[in-house]
Structure 1
Amino acid sequence: MNYRNPVIAGYYPDPSVVRVDEDYYLINSSFEYFPGVPIFHSRDLIHWTPLGHVLTRQSQLDLRTTKSSSGIYAATIRYHAGRFYMITTDVRGIGNFYVTADKPEGPWSDPILLPHGGIDPSLFFDDDGRAYVTVQNGAGYESHIIQYEIDPVSGKVLSEPVNIWSGDEGPWVEGPHLYRIKGVYYLMTASGGTSVDHREIIARSSTPYGPFEDKPEPILTHRGLKDHPVQCLGHADLVEDTKGNWWAVFLGMRPVEGKYSPLGRETFLAPVTWTEDGWPMIDNNEGTVVSAAECSAEVSIQRMELSGGFGPEWAFLRSYEEERYSWTERQGSLTLRGNAYTLDDEAPAVLACIRQQHHRMELGVSLDFDPVREGEQAGLAARLNNRGYLFWGLAGRSGSRVMELVVKNGEQRQVHRYEVSGHGPVQLRLHSDGLFYVCSYSEDGVTWHVAEEQIHVSVLSPEVNGGFTGVCLGLHASGDGAANASPAYFERFYYSNTKGDVL
């Protein structure tokens, strides 16, 4: 089977997958973005179509006070007796819970809370119908895996949690999954943290509670291949295809120059082989997990009409306030009204965004915005978190309308301004060649003015400014302290890979 990795590019970490007949469904972590838990569909494990999100209502997920890289951590999707289950952790929120649905596209139930464990809970349904929650507990080198039984209908806990495994003595034994394969129980987890020492490890037993026999080396890692273009492999989930072959989905990172990963942790795919003595293997420092080489390629442009609603790939920062977005106020445009928050705030600022999926890319939009109050802003944003972002758009300053470039890099915040006429639409572009982001604007669509400042990719990389996400790109508006900003009208939004990047 031919395929190109990553199979889902951009900030889509911690994948979990389930097969139902000939259909595959995959979910990812979403952290502080709303709706929570993106869900995809595939018929071949290679081509994935976004269906939307699992957690779409505030009654399921309230992120309004969630800090960057908190919120929804690793989730697991499973299917049992005609029903879908999604189990996850709302970190610093309601904790561990699960929701259920008859169909993967929902609607999904309100949360059923669970009392035990730290992060990354998983569900396992045994052949006898018993349901087990397998979940990380403790922190750092004290991390271990606990397990207990529940009634999956009511969520009632049927047994006390039992410590079943401590992994390979590395820090952050997490992301556990329990499987029964040919009568053997396999317990698989990540270890080492999600940086360059990340790895996937496994143990097995004749019972779901162990004792477990450890496989002495990882089944998936590139920690010994520091120069490999794909790093940080781990946090895997296994699935059997319709022909009896086994596959793994897992996260990986594609650092630029081996240092910076603005795309964050992405979803990769690899075949699983089985040793003669019954262990699954994926890639233990062999380098068989590779990404599509960056080479000459046709440009692919995604034009997203801003006149009829957001597609399933869109997300919002902490909350979707419906009254901030209008599809009818001006025909053919999306109207945004900023609130009091900016991208500096760990608060629900107005940001509608998609994931950056290519190192070399271009983002563009036409913006008509006449700020009335001092500090009002509207334009394009590239956000890693509140420590690393850039904004490029129109702003009100000293009674005039100006082009403004805001760059946040850790504790430093720089603002650069350019003259622009006092009225009329402006076309905005944000371009990346993989190492630098470059901003430009045009008032007539012919003559383009390029900002002098080039923003190095490190500004938007978790290696420098922290966190568990990757860059999200989109439309931002702010009143900069005022609860209701002047309307900003966006048209002709597009996202494109640029020539030289396959993915």
Structure 2
Amino acid sequence: MKRLQVGFTLSKNRRIALLCVFVGMFSLMRLSGNSQNLNVPKNAPVFSNSVYVGNDKIYNDNPLKVGEFYNPILQGAYPDPAITRKGDDYYMVHSSFAIFPGVPIFHSKDLVNWTQIGHVLDRPSQLKVHDTGISAGVYAPDIKYNANNDTFYMITTQFAGGFGNIVVKTKDPLKGWSDPVKLKFDGIDPSLFFDDNGKAYVVHNDAPDKGKELYQGHRVIKVWDYDVEKDQVIAGTDKIIVDGGVDLAKKPIWIEAPHIYKKNGRYYLMCAEGGTGGNHSEVIFVSDNPRGPYTPAPNNPILSQRHLNPNRTNKVDWAGHADLVEGPDGNYYGVFLGIRPNEKNRVNIGRETFILPVDWTGEFPVFTNGLVPMEPKLKVPAGVANNTGKEGFFPNGNFTFTDNFTSEKLDYRWVSLRGPREAFISTSKQGLQVNPLPVNIKEVKPTSTLFLRQQHNNFSYTTTLNFKPASEKELAGIVLLQSEKFNYVYGLTRKDKDFYVVLERTEKGASRIIASKKVDNKKPIQLRVKADGDNYQFSYSTSGTDFVNVGETVSGDILSTNVAGGFTGAMIGLYATSANDAHPQNLVQ
């Protein structure tokens, strides 16, 4: 994807100080997800009865029949998929930016039923995003299994912590990953290729040679020889193998996300082209040598939705950033990102992971039906049963996700921002207790917020909150977050002796109170947000049955990448802070 131009230049003393603070904070944790050793205020908020319900019309209108499954396979902000295979096991990873832990990893036996087995970067030594904006951090990971040494590799670009391009590895993705090795090259979107003769290579996106940039968005693909023993590129072996894209005369932009595959003794280089928006596509090249020269296929692009009617129903758009794998039926499949905008063409649920069969019976692979409007359903591979949403498999379509936070291990779908979850949460029979850090959601710091991804255009989210704020500086409730500068805060706070629910809108970093209501806080209060496409409504209940709206319906515009920019989808967070600045006002209801 087209990347932000980000720079991180901290003084040595400040880096050391931040690291010491972070290490000290981490030392308090129990990685089980149940942190009973935190110094938590007596009135710390407790969340329980968390219920997310998705209700998109497309799934109601297209019920599954036997032998079918829904596309996308992962709904919500799981962009930039990369996939690998070892025997009958498939592993897939995704970009995570400043989310902590980073790089969600999923496992499947059949490409239909997926289980999240954790995150690749799950500790502060691997992921240093504590002082960066939400759309920086970890971009475009690639996962590869090297049969030559029976090892899995994950290579990525981390725009934070002084890392740049890094690689981690493991013998077993279920048992955790190594600390990162910083790789000695610039650029983004690195990918590894392990040839069957034992040699290894890295390909990545980079700027053209100095003085040779021809237009804005002009990029190149480079290849390096890779030393598997030292886990490092070999100095002096870098070579440009694609300049600009398929046809430099047409000024193609953002050739990126390269992958090399070997089939029938030839080497195929597949890349995204056109940027991660409406002009996104996937293109392919071929060579007799992994170091090129590469010749583009005559039928490029092999995947795109950019030439279709923009007003088509059930639109899937921005298709690209793909990776290929051989399926359990011997045929090829490609995973890739796409978006499903709402009725105002806004992208609130972010870039999701789709899959299509790939026809590789000719010289070049082509995504089956990848150039026509995509359908919401696909046929399962031969011999595969669709068990999504059952037996621990990740759900898709319309589903309900309920969590009372009473289990010892927190569900992998719950993530935090810039810092470990265990630094501010503990679970008990009463629910999830959140220690309110003195950090506001608008600050570029680790916040005491536990997030789920928004996974539908139409959804409701409800939680029960037990909280007695001691002052107006304390607030707990729900945050809908696109970024630190674009979000809604909806929570319970205090003014003098009274308790209020307050709704705040932040756009371009400027906040204003939309509505506030005095409430009876003698018993736990239920907070709810409901979205009908671009329309979001906030409400509460003190009776457990009747919900009262707080303010009018508001627009979800600031929760879309169209308005907010960046690369993430909207996040639904359980938020607590002792640095609240959303104060009740006497507004007309």
Q: Normalising to structure 1: TM-score of the pair? A: 0.90
Query: Which stretch shows the higher mean deviation, 417-426 or 466-475?
Result: 417-426
CA distance in 2, matches of 1:14, 1:247: 15
Q: Does 1:281 align with 2:379?
A: no
Q: Does 1:83 align with 2:169?
A: no
The answer (yes or no) to whether the contact 1:14–1:75 under 8 Å persists in 2 is yes
CA distance in 2, matches of 1:191, 1:451: 45
CA distance in 1, matches of 2:182, 2:423: 30
Deviation at 1:37, TM superposition (A): 0.2
Amino acid at match of 2:446: P
- Could you say if the C-alpha distance between residues 379 and 130 of structure 1 is closer, same or farther in structure 2, counting changes exceeding 3 Å? same
**Counterpart in 2 of 1:461?**
560
Amino acid at match of 1:58: P
**Counterpart in 2 of 1:322?**
422
How many residues are paired up? 476
1:16 aligned to 82, 95, 100, which one?
82
- Could you say if the C-alpha distance between residues 195 and 11 of structure 1 is closer, same or farther in structure 2, counting changes exceeding 3 Å? same
**Counterpart in 2 of 1:303?**
402
The answer (yes or no) to whether the contact 2:82–2:94 under 8 Å persists in 1 is yes
Deviation at 1:299, TM superposition (A): 6.3
Q: Does 1:336 align with 2:434?
A: yes
**Counterpart in 2 of 1:137?**
206
Identity of aligned residues (%): 37
**Counterpart in 2 of 1:245?**
331
Mapping of residues 476-487 of structure 1, within 5 Å? 476-480=575-579
CA distance in 2, matches of 1:40, 1:198: 25
CA distance in 2, matches of 1:275, 1:107: 37
**Counterpart in 2 of 1:345?**
443
**Counterpart in 2 of 1:162?**
239
**Counterpart in 2 of 1:193?**
275
Q: Does 1:360 align with 2:449?
A: no
Amino acid at match of 2:181: I
CA distance in 1, matches of 2:353, 2:270: 18
The answer (yes or no) to whether the contact 2:421–2:450 under 8 Å persists in 1 is no
Gaps of 5+ in 2: 1-66, 209-215, 379-395, 582-589
**Counterpart in 2 of 1:490?**
none
Deviation at 1:284, TM superposition (A): 7.6
CA distance in 2, matches of 1:122, 1:213: 19
CA distance in 1, matches of 2:511, 2:549: 20
CA distance in 2, matches of 1:305, 1:65: 31
**Counterpart in 1 of 2:195?**
126
The answer (yes or no) to whether the contact 2:343–2:533 under 8 Å persists in 1 is no
**Counterpart in 2 of 1:392?**
490
- Could you say if the C-alpha distance between residues 408 and 481 of structure 1 is closer, same or farther in structure 2, counting changes exceeding 3 Å? closer
The answer (yes or no) to whether the contact 2:500–2:519 under 8 Å persists in 1 is yes
Amino acid at match of 1:87: I
Q: Secondary structure at the match of 1:322?
A: helix
- Could you say if the C-alpha distance between residues 255 and 418 of structure 1 is closer, same or farther in structure 2, counting changes exceeding 3 Å? same
- Offset from partner CA, 1:208-259 (integer Å, 9 cap, x none): 1111111242111111012340000000000011332000000000011261
Mapping of residues 202-217 of structure 1, within 5 Å? 202-216=284-298, 217=300
**Counterpart in 2 of 1:35?**
101
**Counterpart in 2 of 1:234?**
320
- Could you say if the C-alpha distance between residues 25 and 472 of structure 1 is closer, same or farther in structure 2, counting changes exceeding 3 Å? same
CA distance in 1, matches of 2:344, 2:152: 39
Amino acid at match of 1:179: Y
The answer (yes or no) to whether the contact 1:91–1:119 under 8 Å persists in 2 is no
The answer (yes or no) to whether the contact 2:100–2:419 under 8 Å persists in 1 is yes
1:58 aligned to 119, 124, 135, which one?
124
Q: Secondary structure at the match of 2:234?
A: coil
CA distance in 1, matches of 2:170, 2:453: 26
Q: Secondary structure at the match of 1:123?
A: strand
CA distance in 2, matches of 1:111, 1:411: 34
CA distance in 2, matches of 1:211, 1:49: 39
Query: Which stretch shows the higher mean deviation, 153-162 or 33-42?
Result: 153-162
CA distance in 2, matches of 1:481, 1:351: 13
Query: Which stretch shows the higher mean deviation, 134-143 or 107-116?
Result: 134-143
The answer (yes or no) to whether the contact 1:221–1:283 under 8 Å persists in 2 is no
Give me the CA root mean square deviation: 2.0
Q: Does 1:112 align with 2:194?
A: no
Q: Secondary structure at the match of 1:120?
A: strand
Amino acid at match of 1:282: F
The answer (yes or no) to whether the contact 1:52–1:313 under 8 Å persists in 2 is no
**Counterpart in 2 of 1:176?**
258
Deviation at 1:275, TM superposition (A): 5.9
Q: Secondary structure at the match of 1:3?
A: strand
The answer (yes or no) to whether the contact 1:339–1:481 under 8 Å persists in 2 is no
Deviation at 1:91, TM superposition (A): 1.4
CA distance in 2, matches of 1:445, 1:350: 26
- Offset from partner CA, 1:356-408 (integer Å, 9 cap, x none): 11111111111011111322110112211122211222012344321011122
Deviation at 1:285, TM superposition (A): 6.7
Q: Does 1:471 align with 2:573?
A: no
Amino acid at match of 2:203: T
The answer (yes or no) to whether the contact 1:222–1:233 under 8 Å persists in 2 is yes
Gaps of 5+ in 1: 483-503
**Counterpart in 1 of 2:227?**
151
**Counterpart in 1 of 2:307?**
224
- Could you say if the C-alpha distance between residues 95 and 299 of structure 1 is closer, same or farther in structure 2, counting changes exceeding 3 Å? closer
The answer (yes or no) to whether the contact 2:319–2:338 under 8 Å persists in 1 is yes
Amino acid at match of 1:62: K
The answer (yes or no) to whether the contact 2:486–2:509 under 8 Å persists in 1 is no
Amino acid at match of 2:337: L
CA distance in 2, matches of 1:122, 1:51: 22
CA distance in 1, matches of 2:263, 2:397: 43
The answer (yes or no) to whether the contact 1:382–1:391 under 8 Å persists in 2 is yes
- Offset from partner CA, 1:196-216 (integer Å, 9 cap, x none): 001111111000111111124
Q: Secondary structure at the match of 2:562?
A: helix
Amino acid at match of 1:273: D
CA distance in 1, matches of 2:327, 2:361: 19
**Counterpart in 2 of 1:500?**
none
- Offset from partner CA, 1:179-203 (integer Å, 9 cap, x none): 1111111111111111000111111
Q: Normalising to structure 2: TM-score of the pair? A: 0.78
- Could you say if the C-alpha distance between residues 292 and 471 of structure 1 is closer, same or farther in structure 2, counting changes exceeding 3 Å? farther
CA distance in 1, matches of 2:223, 2:397: 49
Amino acid at match of 2:189: D
Deviation at 1:354, TM superposition (A): 1.4
CA distance in 1, matches of 2:377, 2:542: 38
- Could you say if the C-alpha distance between residues 303 and 279 of structure 1 is closer, same or farther in structure 2, counting changes exceeding 3 Å? same
Q: Does 1:5 align with 2:45?
A: no
The answer (yes or no) to whether the contact 2:302–2:371 under 8 Å persists in 1 is no
Higher RCO by CA contacts (8 Å cutoff, separation 6 or greater):
2
- Could you say if the C-alpha distance between residues 401 and 310 of structure 1 is closer, same or farther in structure 2, counting changes exceeding 3 Å? same
Q: Does 1:265 align with 2:351?
A: yes
